[in-house]
A and B are shown apart, each in its own frame.
Chain A
Amino acid sequence: AQTVTQSQPEMSVQEAETVTLSCTYDTSENNYYLFWYKQPPSRQMILVIRQEAYKQQNATENRFSVNFQKAAKSFSLKISDSQLGDTAMYFCAFWASYDKVIFGPGTSLSVIP
């Protein structure tokens, strides 16, 4: 069975600084997707970034980028130039095709002015 682990329950970062959130997963699948979702206080789930396992190049979306290490089964999220609006819960998620999405326990990120 697939599992997703986020070892940092809470993190904080100064505004404009860079922070990295960790995620590891366990699977025997070779083809899958990895996601980072953001859940702000409104509780609406927002997709931050997506990575296809067959792509070696790390995904990037503006200030958000990932470090995908397939052999190590690691998928960390880097947020550059942190903004107050980045304060939220961040969930790492795993999805093998035609199966359910598995969410990690989440990391609560606070951006400090």
Chain B
Amino acid sequence: GAVVSQHPSWVICKSGTSVKIECRSLDFQATTMFWYRQFPKQSLMLMATSNEGSKATYEQGVEKDKFLINHASLTLSTLTVTSAHPEDSSFYICSARDRGGPGELFFGEGSRLTVL
């Protein structure tokens, strides 16, 4: 199956700093990528939909100035958590849709963010 690589898998940062998480589709072109946030023992909460070459569409309640999403190419989307605070600590997961394939999402391994 298609592979989505997410990096870093674990990051610790100080409060007030910014952190960038990368999501790459390794063997297919992804016109659409999705970013999710997951709290312990809870479901995936969609944060935003990222389309290549255009602005991301954010879900209600998600701060677009805090969670910057860029989808510069068909294989790369990035999530930048700006001025991170401890409440931003969470597990972030990206997924990508293969534009040539049937309805299926491919998920990255996830990134655990801890803000001290």
What residues of chain A have their CB less than 8 Å away from a CB belonging to chain B?
33, 35, 42-45, 47, 50, 52, 89, 91, 95, 97, 100-101, 103-106, 108
Contact = CB atoms under 8 A, between A and B. Distances in A.
B103 A105 contact: no
Nearest to B36: A103
A35 B91 CA distance: 22
Interface of B: 1, 34, 38, 41-44, 46, 49, 91, 93, 95, 103-105, 107, 109-110
Secondary structure at chain B's binding surface: helix, strand, loop or mixed?
Answer: strand
A33 B95 CA distance: 16
B49 A105 contact: no
Contact of B103 (A42, A91, A95, A103): A95
- Secondary structure of the A contact surface, majority rule: strand
Given A45-B93, A45-B95, A100 B46 contact: yes
B105 A44 contact: no
A75 to B, nearest CB: 14
B36 to A, nearest CB: 8
Contacts of A100: 34, 46, 49
A43 B110 contact: yes
